[in-house]
Structure 1
Amino acid sequence: MILLGNVKFSDLELDSSLEEKLNNIYAQKSDEFLPTLVYIFTLARWFGIPSYGGKFALCGAIVTFALVASLEAGAIWKLVRLLAGIATNVTDGRGFVARLSGTIFYGNALLSFLLSWKLITSWKKVSIHWSRAETSGGLYFPPDDNIRKRVICVTWFVAVCACVEHMMSMMSATGFDIPPGEYFHRYILSSHGFLLQPHEYTVWVAVPVFITSKLATIFWNFQDLIIILISMGLTSRYHRLNLYVNYLVKLEKRDAGIKKFGTELYIQMQTWRRLREAYVRQASLVRVVDKKLGTLVLLSNLNNFYFICLQLFLGLNKTQSGLVNRMYYFYSMAWLLFRACNVVLAAAEVNDHSRRALPLLYGCPRSSYNIEIKRLKHQLTYDSVALSGMGLFKLHRQLLLEVAAAILKYELVMLQYDG
């Protein structure tokens, strides 16, 4: 017996009224993933992404772009001065690694802001394609009743963990033995030593830098959250398709000794044909999403890869002094690894679930085997469906091992040259 939503498929019979029963049961129910995702995208206008906002949100986006672009330009200028030999003070967070990391951090923030804005703006058209894949074809699948709760829980989890990590970074940058009046001054010079020297510090510069650094951190976490949530939605749809295959195979096994003629044989063929076409529409939907999401996937993985390597390198070469600094380093490293791994694993679930129905099809009884089942098996076997980074790499589980091996090689080379 298979339970989908609130309906037990074992209570239904494979007869001429099967489609009518499914239509009556599910016609009034719709999946809540798309409205929930749109709600989250709407909230994004509060930190500069105006796709679901008005003119005020657009003005805020322009100001956000100007702030992030200004800091990125300043970070690039400081890095160029260092490489050209113009800069003289290269200590206390103003060396090459610090300036390169600052440039990459704000470069990622700028690209993430623009790509997220572009993706959310185009999501209105993607939603139409998604809705058609859900509703067309004549087969009505029970909605995922828990998808809204899972999306909200993941969003809150990422938001809370990111806030904790950032607050710990602020405490690590300043310590506790500091007068309240000097906190802002010490924090800006400590966290943005690659950008500002003590004689360049003014409140009029520090305040925009402080605000922009928070926005950059939000964009970094938000780009990973977008990939995870969209992957969850695609995986949920594949999961429901696979459950439907499992249900049909069980019915075929139950009726294996009964020969079908005329109308019954026609209904059986049509049911399998419509199910196969549902997989075709789902694969098409994944490719549409991949075209819109690919640049963000590439940016996210490259940025996470760099900062994981950087954190490991700094941790292996520097002794963290103080309890707060040690706690921040381990928590920050754990959060970065956890988030990067979940981006890959969530997206890899799409590829994994796209083939999960194959073992079920191989268990279909020989007496019920037909041309549509054969076509579906061929389709699932040879049609590679996966999210990718602009087609340069596909996100699957093996990618984690490949990335881990690359990080290990990088760290060994850096340690060898650093020694």
Structure 2
Amino acid sequence: MVIANEQTQNTIFTYTKWTGIPVYGGKIATIWALILFILLCCLEAAAIWKLIRILSGVAVYSSASRSLVARLSGTIFYANSLISLVLTWRFIAAWDDLSQHWLKNELLSGLNTAKDKYIKRKIIFVTTFVSVCAIVEHIFSMMAAIGFHCGSLEGCLRTYILISHGFVLQSYEYNLWFAIPIFILSKLATILWNLQDLAIILMSMGIVSRYSMLNLYTKKLIQCEYQKKLNYNKLSYQHIDQWRKLRRSYARQAKLVRLLEKHLGPLVLLSNLNNLYFICLQLYLGIRIMSRSWISRTYYLLSLTWLSSRACGVVLAAAAIILYSKKALPDLRSCSSATYNIEVKRLITQLTYDNVGLSGMKLFFLSRQSLLEVVATVIKYELILLQYDK
């Protein structure tokens, strides 16, 4: 299971060299990453400068694409891509060390646990699904910006850049040498945005898969002992040692989650803050576009659906770690008195009080309860918009 998971993850991470993360690339990939980093810094600096101008009153906006909301959103979008590039680079660079710990956990367990033969298929399916949905959503965003009557290819590019990046580039500042790099950077920024969420989901799936195998082994061990009707007074050392190995396997698994959280925590924080902001933004814009074309309404509905689904997917995938880390407790508590021993008692205590899960740098843990709290906050935000919108 670990080897299949590691190979699949390595294959996925190998393709990230084209998005500016050269961990699994060579010198050319590193040069490409540095160029992208510099260009993103320049674009972000320009977006911040334009935002400062409108906040200070020096500049006034003449269209929705140059409004305060548009400039703030553009600044946040490229700030997210810049930070995401650094954090994803940092996480993938640590993946080799993490995968070694992952493999070491299974080899040191000494348990004959079952293998999750479907984990590779699950990872491929989720990666494909996220990629296809992101591509479809982005195509609709381009169609909503350009329309169907843009003329030539250069005219379509000009229309798209001035509408989607009006917060940083006005019509009299437009130049083809600016438009092409901005077009490329916008696509890479979108990829990085989806990649950071995908990384969290895939890592959570791997951890949950390992926990599910341990839980299955625990359940089968209890059933086997119940069928044999072991006598507590005749319990052998080998029997107690088996439970000791199982308890230590859970302890090592919890340690692995904390190690993963150390490297993934900043990315979790960035992902959740960014998703929350843009979901609220799409809700705000959705109220104001009812008079626009059908393609704009379709795009905003599709975009809001995809943003919400992806954000929920991130939280639910990570929340499953907390759920599966304690899923064996009902089986352990139902263990018969004839087979109950000190190691079972220690394992119950360990699973009860040892809370493991992914967090945003210890500021919050990703759980189902936190998802409901965020949904409630977003609904309150929408109701306020509906109440005060004119």
TM-score by length of 2: 0.97
Q: Is the contact between residue 64 and residue 70 of structure 2 (CA under 8 Å) also seen in structure 1? A: no
2:242 alignment counterpart? 271
Cα offset for 1:180? Answer: 2.0
2:144 alignment counterpart? 172
Q: Is the contact between residue 240 and residue 341 of structure 2 (CA under 8 Å) also seen in structure 1? A: yes
* Root-mean-square deviation (Å): 1.4
1:110-149 aligned at under 5 Å gives the runs 110-149=82-121
2:257 alignment counterpart? 286
1:214-363 aligned at under 5 Å gives the runs 214-256=187-229, 258-259=230-231, 265-363=236-334
Q: Is the contact between residue 80 and residue 193 of structure 2 (CA under 8 Å) also seen in structure 1? A: yes
Cα offset for 1:88? Answer: 2.7
Query: Which amino acid in the other structure matches residue 205 of structure 1?
Result: F
Query: Which amino acid in the other structure matches residue 281 of structure 1?
Result: R
Distance 1:318 1:260 in 2: 71
Cα offset for 1:416? Answer: 4.9
Q: Is the contact between residue 47 and residue 75 of structure 2 (CA under 8 Å) also seen in structure 1? A: yes
Cα offset for 1:320? Answer: 5.0
Kindly tell me: are residues 136 and 211 of structure 1, through their superposed partners in 2, closer, same or farther at Cα, counting changes over 3 Å?
A: same
Cα offset for 1:47? Answer: 1.5
Once the two structures are superposed, what CA deviation does each residue of 1:277-299 show, in whole Å capped at 9, x if it has no partner?
Answer: 00000000000000000000000
Cα offset for 1:251? Answer: 0.8
Cα offset for 1:92? Answer: 3.4
Distance 1:38 1:244 in 2: 28
Distance 1:92 1:376 in 2: 59
Please say which of residues 210-219 and 119-128 is displaced more in the overlay. Answer: 119-128
2:374 alignment counterpart? 403
Cα offset for 1:91? Answer: 2.2
Identity over aligned residues, as a percent?
Answer: 52
Q: Is the contact between residue 232 and residue 340 of structure 2 (CA under 8 Å) also seen in structure 1? A: no
Indicate yes or no: 2:354 matched with 1:383: yes
Cα offset for 1:39? Answer: 1.3
Query: Which amino acid in the other structure matches residue 174 of structure 1?
Result: I
Once the two structures are superposed, what CA deviation does each residue of 1:132-152 show, in whole Å capped at 9, x if it has no partner?
Answer: 111103213222111111101
Distance 1:197 1:226 in 2: 36
Please say which of residues 131-140 and 109-118 is displaced more in the overlay. Answer: 131-140
Distance 1:30 1:410 in 2: 43
Distance 1:71 1:409 in 2: 34
2:175 alignment counterpart? 202
User: How many aligned positions are there?
Assistant: 389
Distance 1:107 1:222 in 2: 15
Kindly tell me: are residues 164 and 290 of structure 1, through their superposed partners in 2, closer, same or farther at Cα, counting changes over 3 Å?
A: same
Q: Is the contact between residue 3 and residue 103 of structure 2 (CA under 8 Å) also seen in structure 1? A: no
Once the two structures are superposed, what CA deviation does each residue of 1:206-240 show, in whole Å capped at 9, x if it has no partner?
Answer: 00100000000000000000000000000000000
Q: Is the contact between residue 31 and residue 145 of structure 1 (CA under 8 Å) also seen in structure 2? A: no
Distance 1:90 1:132 in 2: 60
Query: Which amino acid in the other structure matches residue 209 of structure 2?
Result: S
Kindly tell me: are residues 293 and 320 of structure 1, through their superposed partners in 2, closer, same or farther at Cα, counting changes over 3 Å?
A: farther
Q: SS at 1:32's partner residue?
A: helix
Once the two structures are superposed, what CA deviation does each residue of 1:283-320 show, in whole Å capped at 9, x if it has no partner?
Answer: 00000000000000000000000000010111123315
